[in-house]
Amino acid sequence: MSGLQPYPIALTIAGSDSGGGAGIQADLKSFSALGVYGASVITAITAQNTRTVAAVEAVSPAMVAAQIDAVFGDLEVRAVKIGMVGGADVITVVADRLAALLADNPVPVVLDPVMVAKSGDALLAEAAVAALREQLIPLATVLTPNLPEAAQLLGRDPAATPEAMRRQGEALRALGAAHVLMKGGHATEDTCTDLLVGPQPLVLTAPRQQTHNTHGTGCSLSSAIAAGLAQGMTVPDAVTRAHGWLQGAIAAADELSVGLGHGPVHHFHALWRRT
């Protein structure tokens, strides 16, 4: 590599959302909004809109491996975000390829353990949860579960207090993740609290915003963190910037008015101007 790449490159490994609000589409929008070039590896194709996931078709493990090899064979990837990965066979391929490729040239990995869509549709088979826990979490620089995802990974009830969130974050770190961002958006308080559990802990709070247009928040936040890491930020700084950026994207979400269900957040709220 020449080392002259003017903009850092981040890679997303995730599923495609045909409605454009989550998955690969949200990841690439997040990268672009924050000044990072995005590459992608598609693990599954969904027929999806703001109301439902009508169908899911997995990409073959061989094709997932070929995409990973193609990207790393030519592009200077500086951070990886992993989202929806589908079945255990694809998880194994992703874990094995990344472990081999990053052994000599490690880059940060952000793992968003996507299990359920905003519509409530399951996106990760139960049999694949163990594979994600055992094979992908140990690769994670930052793991970004919401409260139900953290509980499912640990076989516990969802955390109901900040202290319970911290304990579950530490339990997830014990599985191999360097840092765990426990996302409190599924709680019911008027203030949302996210906890970064790790060597440099953080507490991030924001008022709960009154909008139903929150499709893709998890994908977008994890991608925004990966963008910061690709730009050389520390984990706390990347998480802090991503948190603030996402709050702006949620605040502006109603301007888009996309779809009839849970619409997407406004990834380009700082760049687009209404006429």
Residues labelled catalytic:
183, 214, 216-219
| Cα angle: 160, vertex 155, 153; to 5 degrees | 90
Neighbours of 245 (CB within 10 A): 23
Q: Are 141 and 178 in contact (CB under 8 A)?
A: yes
H/E run at residue 193: strand 191-197
Residue type, 151: A
Q: Are 43 and 64 in contact (CB under 8 A)?
A: yes
Residues 6 or more apart in contact with residue 149 via CB below 8 angstroms: 113, 114, 115, 116
What are the helix (H) ranges across the chain?
A: 23-33, 61-72, 88-102, 126-131, 147-154, 162-173, 217-230, 235-251
Residue type, 268: F
Work out the widest C-alpha separation in the chain, in whole angstroms.
50
Q: Are 172 and 181 in contact (CB under 8 A)?
A: no
Q: Are 245 and 224 in contact (CB under 8 A)?
A: yes
Phi, psi of 132 (to 5 degrees): -60, -45
Tokens 């200077």 correspond to 76
Two structure tokens written together for 106: 């490690």
Neighbours of 69 (CB within 10 A): 14
